[in-house]
Amino acid sequence: MNSSVLTTKSKSTIPVFGILVLSIIFAAGLFVVGFDQGHIFSLVYGEQAFTDLYIHELTHDMRHAAGFPCH
Amino acid sequence: MKTVLFLTIVLISGTLAGLVHGTVNFAIVEPYLDQAIGIENQNLFASGEEEDTPEFWVEYEGYRVWQKSGQILAGVILGVSVGSLFGMVFALSKNSLPGNHYVKKSLLLAGIMWATLYLIPFLKYPANPPTVGDAETVVLRAILYLSFIAISGIGAVAFYKLSKRFENNKKIISLVGYGIFISAVFFAMPENPDEITAPMSLVNEFRLMSVLGVSSFWISVGIILGLFWNRFESHKETTPYT
């Protein structure tokens, strides 16, 4: 019996610029949802951002639900 | 595939799968979050940190609505983020994945990434509801969790590379190797330092819902990206995979 199976192969190349863009989006999105404790808004609002925790609160429920450590 | 098209289908796939994840969480995880936060509030009253006053509840309702409304938005952001990683890995590995349809390939990869980047780390560091977790240890827990995900993911890639050196009937050696490697890491990594003070029935049910929610994302992103790729990939051929 022939054990080979059909597979679909692409001849196209992988866009390197696309990989670079996606890498940045991946890292930024992961930080926003999983780990920000006021860091991003502190660039604009300074120390107050670490008290307000707007992004932390906005992502709070998803943070718990997706398994990220939270408070 | 052109860069713009590649980026578009990857980002749309991530967005839609994130929308599914957020919606599923909203339906099945939120009740457990409310229950856990209720316990957290009672603990605050009992310890004297907060007083059970109308002012407390006004403030509480204010940020709780913000937290709940963020569930779906955060799902989309996380979906775009993890979907981007998935798109990159799929683009780099699609020719190595078995199958005669991109949906099959994409779903297989989603299953592998779900297991190595989510399920195995989850077994070591499972999701916890609010009221479980000390603010003092959050950085340590984040480092441990991320480290385990990274080790598991890099380990999976390394053992996959190793499998290419073996003949077909010996590729199972790599899978066994990864199993031994990740088991050793599992037992070597430190435990979550926080004590669980919430009822275990609540914690376990929350964890089950968490797994269902995250799984809904991986299934969705696998199907959606596979369908897009099948639709837009123009230069393809079907060849025997042995």
Check residue A7 and give its pLDDT: 55
- Mutation target for A interface from B28, B44, B72, B81: give the one with most A CBs within 10 A: B81
Q: Do the Cβ atoms of A69 and B70 come within 8 Å?
A: no
Any domain includes B184: no
The CB density around residue B156, as the number of other CB atoms within 10 Å, is: 21
For the stretch B128-147, what's the b/e string if a residue is b when 16 or more beta carbons lie within 10 angstroms of its beta carbon? bbbbbbeeeebeebbebbbe
Domain count, chain A: 1
pLDDT mean over A48-59? 89
CA B219 and chain centroid, separation: 11
Check residue B234 and give its pLDDT: 65
Check residue B132 and give its pLDDT: 85
User: Which of the residues in chain B have pLDDT under 50?
Assistant: 237-242
Any domain includes A45: yes
With cut-offs at 50, 70 and 90, classify the pLDDT of residue A53: confident
Any domain includes A59: yes
Q: Is the ipTM of this complex over 0.85?
A: yes
Is B1 an interface residue toward A (CB < 8 Å)?
A: yes
- The answer for B 214-233 residues in CB contact with A (under 8 A) is 214, 233
Query: Could you list the residue range(s) of the whole structural domain that residue B35 is in?
Result: 3-132+196-232
Any domain includes B42: yes
A10-19, A30-39, B142-151: the lowest-pLDDT one: A10-19
The CB density around residue B93, as the number of other CB atoms within 10 Å, is: 15
Kindly report the CA angle at B102 between B119 and B75, in degrees rounded to 5? Answer: 45
Residue B185 in tokens: 């890491």
Q: Is the pLDDT of residue A46 over 80?
A: yes
Q: Do the Cβ atoms of B233 and A6 come within 8 Å?
A: no
Domain count, chain B: 1
Check residue A3 and give its pLDDT: 47
Query: Could you list the residue range(s) of the whole structural domain that residue A53 is in?
Result: 24-65
Residue B84 in tokens: 């981007």
Check residue A70 and give its pLDDT: 85
Any domain includes B148: no
Check residue B199 and give its pLDDT: 92
Any domain includes A8: no
- The answer for B 180-209 residues in CB contact with A (under 8 A) is 209
Check residue B135 and give its pLDDT: 83
Kind plus residue range of the DSSP H or E element containing A5: strand A5-10
Any domain includes B80: yes
For the stretch A36-66, what's the b/e string if a residue is b when 16 or more beta carbons lie within 10 angstroms of its beta carbon? bbbebbeeeeeeebeeebbbbbbbbbbbbbb
Any domain includes B25: yes
Any domain includes A71: no
Tell me which chain A residue has its CA closest to the CA of residue B22: A62
Any domain includes B95: yes
Check residue B35 and give its pLDDT: 94
Any domain includes B93: yes
